[in-house]
Amino acid sequence: MSYKCISLDEAQSLLDNPDTVIVDIRDKGSYEDGNIPRSINISQDNIDNFLEKTERDKNILVYCYVGNSSKGASDYFVQKGFKTVFSLDGGYEEFVRKQ
């Protein structure tokens, strides 16, 4: 099983679904400056808690700055047993550009 890279347009239904877990892997300062609504900022400090508390069958949408780091993070979540993981192509920059 693997993650899937999707465009912002493809991700819209996930963003609109309140059950989707939206994961921001950027640094805390960048997250605080602006983020996708309902996203959770994940770092080394809270990853264990996230893995412990999050249901493996939830849709996970991972984003970073421009869509590169999110691929590695998405692969990591798949390895940790999450069934449906998406990496947002273009990352937060694309999200801001389309708003």
**Mean pLDDT of the chain, nearest integer:** 97
Residue 17's pLDDT band (cuts 50, 70, 90): very high
Residue 12 maps to which CATH number? 3.40.250.10
Residue 99 has pLDDT above 90, yes or no: no
Is the pTM above the cut of 0.95? yes
Q: CA-CA distance, 59 to 55, in Å (whole number)?
A: 9
64 assigned to active site: yes
Among residues 54, 53, 73, the alpha carbon closest in space to that of 63 is found at: 73
- Choosing from 8, 64, 73, 85, the catalytic residue is 64
Q: How many domains does the chain have?
A: 1
Domain housing 14: 4-98
% the chain with pLDDT above 70: 99
What is the per-residue pLDDT for 10? 97
User: From the CB of residue 51, how many other CB atoms can be counted at a distance below 10 Å?
Assistant: 15
